[in-house]
Amino acid sequence: MSGNNENGSNKQRVLLVTGMLGAGKTTALRVLEDLGWEIVDNFPIRLLDGLLESTPEADPASTTPLAIGFDSRTRGFDPARVISQVKALKGREDIELNTLFLDCSSQELERRYNETRRRHALASDAPVATGIRAEREVMAPLRRWAELLIDTSEFTSNDLQRVIRERFAPATGEAMTVTVSSFGFSRGMPPVADLVFDMRFLDNPHWDPELRPQTGQDAPVGDYIRKDPAFDEAFTRIRDLLLLLLPRYRAQGKAYVHIAFGCTGGRHRSVFTAEQIALALREAGFSPTLLHRNLGSRAADLLEGGLRREK
């Protein structure tokens, strides 16, 4: 499923984006916006019919894909009514409508809320777990109904961004999407990666008090890493290996390739190397997406409104 109509029709593409609070709805909507979708968040879903009637059929902009975000906090929220509305809209020939549900395990949701000290909207003065249980019961019909389900229990914000891009990026002439990411082994391996390079053999800027608070995106850290005698040769070999493999992957019809670079904390060596590899791939004609998993907090990133956008 891509951001634009692949069949060339003038149907209005509509994606309803909902799910458990804290599962990543805001992150998903922001990525969709970056991909060219028109976004309406926190929308009173009972007004959906009126929204879809508000764009004249003759308006070329009416074929811009539309993503509508809503959740259990929405005033007058009634899952049964939402499903009834969706069923009726699916009968229209001018609309292509799907529902994306973002789920997450209750244990992980509770961890995220506790880490960020945010109050669950349905918990009132009760423990977070009480609000999560109540919300899961309310959202169950929509979860069963949704055509698309993404479980973010093991995802960072960057993982979710990558999955949304893979599923909804517009079709282009390039038959393969390349993602280059950095991560810290101290927080575990990335759940989805095709090629993983361990950069912990390089001298660690963390042990320099002046460099510790900086990241691999800062010039002093990059200069420090480049001075390691092993860096230039290792970088050249990794770059040449990727330039050998990526065309072969494309020829074999592989749609997505995720290249991950890891170091201890995911802030210095892996970040710098990922940045340099992404630059080299762009110079070679690829268009990689660059993600840095551990430059922000996972819990803060995925809770609604807490996304820290990478530049």
Cα separation, 102 vs 17, in Å, equals 8
- Tell whether the model's pLDDT for residue 89 goes beyond 90: no
- Tell whether the model's pLDDT for residue 297 goes beyond 70: no
pLDDT in tens, 36-70: 899 988 888 777 777 777 554 445 445 789 999 98
Are 25 and 73 spatial neighbours (Cβ–Cβ below 8 Å)?
Answer: no
Closest CA to 117 of 102, 103, 125, 128: 128
Are 102 and 23 spatial neighbours (Cβ–Cβ below 8 Å)?
Answer: yes
Between 262 and 60, the more confident residue is: 262
Cα separation, 66 vs 293, in Å, equals 28
CB-based contacts of 107: which residues, under 8 Å, 6+ apart? Answer: none
Tell me the mean pLDDT in the region 258-282.
95
Between 95 and 198, the more confident residue is: 198
Between 74 and 101, the more confident residue is: 101
Confidence (pLDDT) at 134: 86
Q: Is the dihedral of CA 84, 87, 92, 98 positive or negative?
A: positive
